[in-house]
């Protein structure tokens, strides 16, 4: 049984049974206390009509699971509208099959569009429900999610949106952990720290969505973030929360969030600047850390320093003068960036200290490198002997003993000579120190081993 196919909790089943009973039983009659003529009791109101909109593009692998999680909600009158952006992976033929499985309940269109925001807007325009659920084609609902949301919206007509807890899953559907969600009472300014709404858990009134102007189609990554900020501003106190897990958001390498990290960072800054009047630099600095963590294997050009300088220049108009200076100084003073080359990156701290285990990543150039030369300093404040152990990509192990504090040089052999081979060396120290544990006023809780002064490939 898959993660989106588990049975509804008892309360959800009771709600569904209650709805079905109220719709199928004849109206009851009773006598008033004075013996007057029978008075027909009011029938329980039927739930609001619901349309699920689903944008998709070349995600056939996940599409059927997403669609079936929609119809597993088992709500009368529920419809699904899929807007495909012109997929070339067989998505249209699969949609045709799924529409036959659910006659009259699944409508779809397929044509090129300007991006996922345009696809959602197109699907909402075609939808007929009073309430809209927005599910991406790589995500899925949990059982009972729609009923829980509709019950809250039905109970309080002043509510314009309901969202809930979410989970992150991998390609196989295994749960990775909870989405970092926060309840609606959270101050709107907290969006500056990050988006705390798991998008597929949201259900909102169609009229509210249209009154807000729908999604901003100029955005290609942060369009949902922009919508939440507009909605929270226009309708304070009119958003409700479901504490149960409402949906599962799939993490995979081809998702927008994973594939377009630079765009996510820049659009996040843009949206925050537009709605809150400021954009915290951590959105940019987090992406800097992500790029460094992938270099020299990840996307982008091989010139890491130039890429990040260009990124900072694009973000500059969105940052305050103080934050611009902060970003400029962080990039200029980062020792790991200073030592990085198109083929090499050492994962040291920005001040040059190595952690207990230092990872050095290299990509073989042409002609190939024969060795990896490390120049460092044994600077343990306690003095004494330190041993470094290097694990090479081919499984070999190398050691060096540093008898006393001071500079040292160490060259490790490289056995793999294929061009563009991606190789990782891990160097572990047998001793570390924590500055905060030493006498003084330091609050630095890092484990520090030794300082890396230079690293280079040794060519033949």
Angle at 392 between CA 389 and CA 396, to 5 degrees: 85
Q: Per-residue pLDDT tens, the chain, 460 aa: give them.
A: 333 333 333 333 333 333 333 333 333 222 333 444 444 445 556 779 999 999 999 999 999 999 999 999 989 899 999 999 999 999 999 999 999 999 999 999 999 999 999 999 999 999 999 999 999 999 999 999 999 999 999 999 999 999 999 999 999 999 999 999 999 999 999 999 999 999 999 999 999 999 999 999 999 999 999 999 999 999 999 999 999 999 999 996 675 665 678 889 999 999 999 999 999 999 999 999 999 999 999 776 689 999 999 999 999 999 999 999 999 999 999 999 999 999 999 999 999 999 999 999 999 999 999 999 999 999 999 999 999 999 999 999 999 999 999 999 999 999 999 999 999 999 999 999 999 999 788 999 999 999 999 999 999 7
Cis preceding linkage at 296, omega within 30: yes
Query: Domain residues of the chain, as ranges?
Result: 45-250, 256-338, 342-459
pLDDT of residue 298: 77
286 burial level (CB within 10 Å; 0-12, 13-18, 19+): middle
Cα 282 off chain centre by: 16
pLDDT of residue 41: 44
**320 φ/ψ sector (left φ>0, alpha ψ -120 to 50, else beta):** beta
Secondary structure percentages of the chain, helix, strand, coil, to 5 = 35, 25, 40
Taking alpha carbons only, the member of 71, 22, 77, 70 closest to residue 48 is 77
The sign of the CA dihedral 9, 14, 15, 19 is positive
Residue 193 and residue 412: Cα distance in Å, rounded? 42
Residues 6+ apart with CB under 8 A from 12: 143, 144, 147, 148
Taking alpha carbons only, the member of 250, 60, 243, 224 closest to residue 141 is 250
111 burial level (CB within 10 Å; 0-12, 13-18, 19+): exposed
Residue 407, classed as helix, strand or coil, is strand
Cβ proximity of 184 and 262 under 8 Å: no
Cα 401 off chain centre by: 43
pLDDT of residue 301: 65
Residue 228 and residue 234: Cα distance in Å, rounded? 10
Taking domain 45-250, whether its CATH number is 3.90.550.10 is answered by yes
CATH fold of 342-459: Jelly Rolls (2.60.120)
Residue 257, classed as helix, strand or coil, is helix
pLDDT of residue 28: 28
Q: How far apart are the first and last CA of the chain?
A: 56
pLDDT of residue 74: 84
Cβ proximity of 433 and 317 under 8 Å: no
Cβ proximity of 442 and 436 under 8 Å: yes
Residue 4 and residue 132: Cα distance in Å, rounded? 20
User: 247 forms bridges with which residues in the sheet?
Assistant: 141, 166
Residue 216 and residue 63: Cα distance in Å, rounded? 25
pLDDT of residue 460: 78
pLDDT of residue 260: 74
Between strands 79-84 and 450-459, the pairing is unpaired
Cis preceding linkage at 172, omega within 30: no
DSSP character string of 275-338: HHS---THHHHHHHHHHHHHTTTSSS-S-HHHHHHHHHHHHGGGS-HHHHHHHHHHHHH-HHHH
């Amino acid at each position: 049984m898959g993660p989106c196919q588990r049975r509804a909790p008892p309360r959800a089943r009771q709600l569904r049974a209650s709805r079905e009973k109220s719709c199928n039983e004849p109206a009851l009659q009773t006598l008033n206390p004075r013996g007057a003529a029978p008075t027909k009791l009011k029938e329980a109101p039927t739930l609001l009509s619901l349309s699920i909109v689903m944008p998709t593009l070349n995600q056939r692998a996940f599409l059927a699971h997403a669609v079936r999680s929609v119809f597993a909600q088992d709500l009368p009158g529920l419809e699904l509208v899929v807007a495909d952006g012109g997929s070339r992976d067989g998505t249209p033929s699969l949609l045709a099959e799924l529409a036959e499985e659910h006659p009259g309940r699944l409508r779809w269109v397929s044509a090129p569009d300007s991006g996922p925001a345009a696809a959602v807007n197109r699907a909402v325009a075609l939808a007929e429900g009073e309430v809209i659920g927005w599910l991406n084609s790589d995500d899925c609902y949990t059982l009972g999610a729609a009923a829980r949301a509709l019950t809250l919206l039905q109970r309080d007509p002043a509510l314009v949106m309901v969202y809930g807890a979410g989970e992150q899953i991998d390609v196989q559907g295994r749960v990775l952990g909870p989405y970092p969600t926060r309840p609606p009472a959270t101050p709107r300014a907290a969006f500056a720290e990050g988006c705390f709404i798991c998008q597929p858990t949201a259900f909102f009134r169609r009229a509210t969505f249209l009154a807000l102007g729908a999604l901003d189609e100029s955005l290609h990554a942060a369009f949902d973030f922009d919508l939440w900020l507009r909605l929270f501003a226009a309708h304070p106190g009119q958003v409700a929360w479901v504490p149960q897990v409402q949906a599962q958001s799939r993490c995979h390498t081809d998702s927008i969030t994973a594939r377009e990290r630079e765009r996510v960072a820049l659009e996040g800054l843009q949206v925050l600047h537009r709605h809150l009047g400021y954009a915290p630099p951590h959105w940019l600095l987090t992406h800097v850390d992500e790029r460094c963590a992938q270099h020299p294997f990840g996307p982008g050009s091989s010139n890491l320093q130039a890429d990040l300088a260009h990124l900072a220049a694009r973000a500059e108009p969105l940052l305050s003068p103080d934050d611009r200076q902060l970003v400029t100084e962080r990039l200029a003073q980062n020792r790991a960036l200073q030592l990085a080359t198109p083929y090499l990156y050492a994962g040291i701290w920005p001040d040059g200290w190595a952690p207990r285990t230092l990872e050095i990543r290299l990509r073989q150039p042409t002609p190939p490198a024969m060795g990896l030369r490390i120049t460092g300093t044994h600077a343990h404040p306690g003095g004494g002997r330190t041993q470094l152990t290097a694990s090479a990509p081919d499984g070999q192990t190398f050691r060096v003993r540093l008898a006393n504090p001071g500079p040292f040089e160490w060259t490790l052999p490289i056995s793999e000579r294929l061009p563009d081979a991606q190789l990782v060396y891990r160097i572990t120290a047998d001793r570390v120190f924590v500055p905060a544990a030493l006498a003084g006023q330091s609050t630095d809780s890092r484990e520090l081993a030794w300082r890396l002064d230079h690293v280079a490939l040794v060519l033949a």
